[in-house]
Amino acid sequence: MKPFAYVRADSVEEATDAFAAHPGARYLGGGTNLVDLMKLGVETPTALVDVTRLPLDVVEELPDGALRVGATVRNSDLAAHPAVRDRYPALSQALLAGASGQLRNAATTGGNLLQRTRCPYFQDLSKPCNKREPGTGCGALEGVHRDHAVLGHSEQCVATHPSDMAVALAALDARVELHGPEGARSVPVADFHRLPGMHPERDTEIHPGELITGVVLPAATAGLPSAYRKARDRASYAFALASVAAVLHLKDGVVDRAGIAFGALAHRPWRARRAEDALVGAAPTTAAFEHAVDLELAAAEPLRDNAYKVPLARRLALDVLGRLAPPATT
């Protein structure tokens, strides 16, 4: 058994100090993924810095109309929060589409963003995985990869990011707030996760020692029509085969603002900038939606056994966009 230290932090500074004092440490939130990975031997931290007692468990309204979600707010609580349900319905829907009730009660906002891929090769120490052990190869490339990436993958890694919540946050232009040895900073959720490239072992842009302290949902997307939809193999407790979050604002009969993100297609929530650019200024017609979504998915490069993901994502996106802005029937 690999012994590890356990430190319970009461403040952000205590947490980052403890992390710095224990090379090889990990922050512990709800533990719904990290503890599993420790049991599997995938994660072998020297120390766990428990951040669940930090005063980061509140959802607060900011003066400019934005909403800050503390990093330790549980997924269940966030999904049920009236301000989230009213102003950012896509986020509430995404959270409720994730995992199971028991897991959502434990999982935190920060931990959800930092969860790791459920690629079976990543979880199995007896098989190659460049993410787990750089240079060993990718088992999924020739193995079983029906659930794997169709966008932005590399020869090194075809894993997907498993989060539902992060997809909604990306579409809603949320930002991740970080606190680390070099102070505080924030990063758009859509840029927080990385594509694998040559370094699949790095999931995110987080710097060593940085702690997620919260997520800020901007005023700009508050109250806009938004929705999340996920397709999966069973009705609950299953990761997405594909999912989409979208926020859409119409003005004078044309799209004024569009935020679209796909889940389960890539190593990160896939912000569909090309589709968004194509939509802004266009009338919300079926043809416009199709054109925009097809423009985005043209970049897809399916693997041997996951080509279905492209039409699935397309239909999910068209369904969600159609519901947010019912196109004229003419």
Residues of this chain that bind another protein (CB under 8 A): 1-2, 40-41, 100, 118, 120, 124-127, 139, 142-144, 146, 231-238, 241, 286, 289-290, 306, 308-309, 311-312, 314-316, 318-319, 322-323, 327
- For another protein, the closer of residues 11 and 286 by Cβ is 286
- For another protein, the closer of residues 146 and 207 by Cβ is 146
The beta-strand segments (E) located in 67-170 are 67-70
Min dist. Cβ of residue 32 to another protein (A)? 11
- For another protein, the closer of residues 126 and 252 by Cβ is 126
- For another protein, the closer of residues 13 and 237 by Cβ is 237
Min dist. Cβ of residue 47 to another protein (A)? 17
- For another protein, the closer of residues 135 and 329 by Cβ is 329
Residue 204 DSSP one-character state: B
8 Å CB contact between 205 and 195: no
Min dist. Cβ of residue 122 to another protein (A)? 12
Min dist. Cβ of residue 9 to another protein (A)? 25
Dig out the tokens for 182 from the structure. 């070099």
Rounded to whole angstroms, the Cα distance separating 257 from 177 reads 24
Min dist. Cβ of residue 18 to another protein (A)? 24
* Cα dihedral 268, 172, 175, 70 sign: negative
Residue 138 DSSP one-character state: B
Using alpha carbons, list the distances in angstroms from residue 96 to 54, 75, 118, 288, 309: 24, 8, 19, 30, 22
Spell out a b/e string for 192-218, using b for 16 or more CB atoms within 10 Å of the CB, else e.
bbbbbeeebeebbebeebbbbbbbbbb
- For another protein, the closer of residues 202 and 315 by Cβ is 315
- Which of 184, 188, 196 is CA-nearest to residue 156? 196
Rounded to whole angstroms, the Cα distance separating 308 from 69 reads 35
8 Å CB contact between 317 and 247: no
Min dist. Cβ of residue 243 to another protein (A)? 10
